[in-house]
Amino acid sequence: MSTTSVSPQALAINGGSPVRTTFLPYGRQSLDEADVQAVVEVLRSDWLTTGPKVGEFEEAFAGRVGAKHAVSFSSGTAALHAAAFAAGLKRGDEAIVPPLTFAATANCVLYLGATPIFADVSPDTLNLDPEQVAKRLSPKTRAILPVDYAGHPADLAPILEIARRDALLVIEDACHALGAEYAGKRVGSISDMTVFSFHPVKHITTGEGGMVTTNNPQLAETLRRFRNHGISSEARERQDSGQWFYEMVLLGFNYRLPDFACALGLEQLKRLDANLARRREIAERYTSAFRQIPGVIPPSVREGINPAWHLYPIRLELGRLTADRARVFRALRAENIGVNVHYIPVHLHPYYRDRFGYKGGEYPVAERAYERLLSLPMFHGMRDQDVEDVIRATEKVLTAYSG
Ligand SMILES: *Cc1c(COP(=O)(O)O)cnc(C)c1O
């Protein structure tokens, strides 16, 4: 027997040839010439930072998600910080957060000196479980922060009902869910405040950037002040009215999104519907293919939900496989498929363990899911061949490890 020849079906991790020769990332931006032109135009204008494009982008964005107000920020994290501030979170308060999210969702509560209280997620969608939320309420609870994991809206109706009963605010982290729909309503128009991100892996990008939408004019005003040092009017308005006078009315930050970034956002927003359509098409192709592959559980979609598919997270049926998630991850990476894991539960990060004493085991649904999750490549710029490569590699690897 030769030790140098390997069968064509051999896994790349074992020396076989990979399903594709170039690396396919899990997410990436798409930019076209119109995007470049829009940015260049602003670079040649008088306003690099807050100028006319900021308001134009905010208005177009609010219109797209069906909200009365949209306030832009320098990142999704800055937008979360501002929303937590506008909700009135302060030292001694608590806010309820799911553990299966990006750390920024919980960190924004800490920025205000308040405490994030985790509540476990539902086993199907991996979104905040309303029954767990109800169990974690206390007289100190002031806000609930559901996350629309992977782009599937959270269970908003029961969460809003709990919030209304106790006069809490709902800050929806919709960084995954621009363009998603919940019971016929657009995400961005439902919660007290909804937060979006324009990081390059998201549905539209401004490089870095974020947005908060709300129907409440008081919250919108606080959000605008918070992003501009707590100052009660903007530099351009003052110049327009020939005024030098301004007042700082609250302790804010500089979280402004530059004019050229907003010009990029405006162009990108025009392609949101096309981006969503492509992501939905990819999800459909994946889901029908993965029903046939042993050991894979495709993401579930509840009745009345139209997800935005920021991610396509499969779960591995470890009982039917001879490899664990780490091994499957490495095998798929060797096939040049850029799988990822979303997310390490927030309470298990060293900072949270050290500060709050979490040891693991506190949130069994999120922790169990974490050990099985794999995000497959999902972005609107994927070609059909990319999609087929992912399916072929997943089938190749999981067939090899099916026991
Ligand atoms: C992307 C993201 C954020 C914020 O990200 P920024 O990189 O600061 O724009 C927050 N929460 C979730 C769930 C995210 O995916």
- Supply the residue whose CA is at minimum distance from atom 5 of ligand 1: 76
Q: Is the pLDDT of residue 2 over 50?
A: no
Q: Which two tokens stand for residue 181?
A: 């729909």
Active site residue 202: yes
Q: Is the pLDDT of residue 294 over 90?
A: no
How many angstroms separate the alpha carbon of residue 325 from the centre of ligand 1? 24
C-beta separation of 82 from 226 below 8 A: yes
Q: Is the pLDDT of residue 244 over 80?
A: no
Which alpha helices (H) appear in 112-216, and where do they start and end? 130-136, 156-165
How many angstroms separate the alpha carbon of residue 182 from the centre of ligand 1? 20
Atom of ligand 1 nearest to the CA of 202: 1
Q: Is the pLDDT of residue 239 over 80?
A: no
Contacts of 262 (CB under 8 A, 6+ apart): 53, 54, 56, 57, 58, 72, 206
Read off the pLDDT band of 232 (50, 70, 90): confident
How many angstroms separate the alpha carbon of residue 365 from the centre of ligand 1? 22
Q: Which two tokens stand for residue 295?
A: 């050991």
For the segment 359-388, what is each residue's pLDDT rounded down to a tens digit? 999 999 999 999 999 999 999 999 999 999
Read off the pLDDT band of 403 (50, 70, 90): confident
Q: What angle do CA 72, 78, 79 make, to 5 degrees?
A: 50
The architecture (CATH level 2) of 12-28+272-400 comes to: Alpha-Beta Complex (3.90)
Q: Which two tokens stand for residue 338?
A: 């850029």
The boundaries of every CATH 3.40.640.10 domain in the chain are 33-269
* Global pTM value: 0.96
Rounded mean pLDDT of 129-145? 98
Strand partners, 117: 96
Q: 10 Å Cβ neighbour count for 9?
A: 10
Question: What per-residue confidence (pLDDT) applies to 250?
Answer: 96
How many angstroms separate the alpha carbon of residue 149 from the centre of ligand 1? 11
Q: Is 92 exposed, middle or buried (0-12, 13-18, 19+ CB in 10 A)?
A: exposed
Q: Is the pLDDT of residue 77 over 60?
A: yes
Ligand 1: residue of 74, 178, 197, 208 to mutate (most ligand atoms within 8 A of CB) is 197
Region 33-269: CATH code: 3.40.640.10
Percent of the chain with pLDDT over 90: 93
Per the model's pLDDT, the better-predicted residue between 239 and 221 turns out to be 221
Q: Is the pLDDT of residue 51 over 80?
A: yes
Question: What per-residue confidence (pLDDT) applies to 301?
Answer: 98
Q: CA 177 to CA 195: how far, in whole Å?
A: 9
In the set 185, 202, 270, 396, the catalytic residue is 202
The boundaries of every CATH 3.90.1150.10 domain in the chain are 12-28+272-400
Question: What per-residue confidence (pLDDT) applies to 9?
Answer: 83
Residue 237's alpha-carbon distances to 55, 113, 233, 243, 244, in angstroms, are 12, 33, 7, 8, 10
Q: CA 124 to CA 329: how far, in whole Å?
A: 22
Lining ligand 1 with CB less than 6 A are 75-77, 101-102, 104-105, 147, 173, 175-176, 197, 199, 210
Strand partners, 193: 171
Instruction: State in Å, rounded, how far the first CA of the chain is from the last one.
Output: 25
Least confidently predicted of 113-117, 144-148, 222-226, 247-251: 247-251
Question: What is the largest distance, in Å, between two alpha-carbon atoms of the chain?
Answer: 87
Rounded mean pLDDT of 113-121? 98
C-beta separation of 289 from 281 below 8 A: no
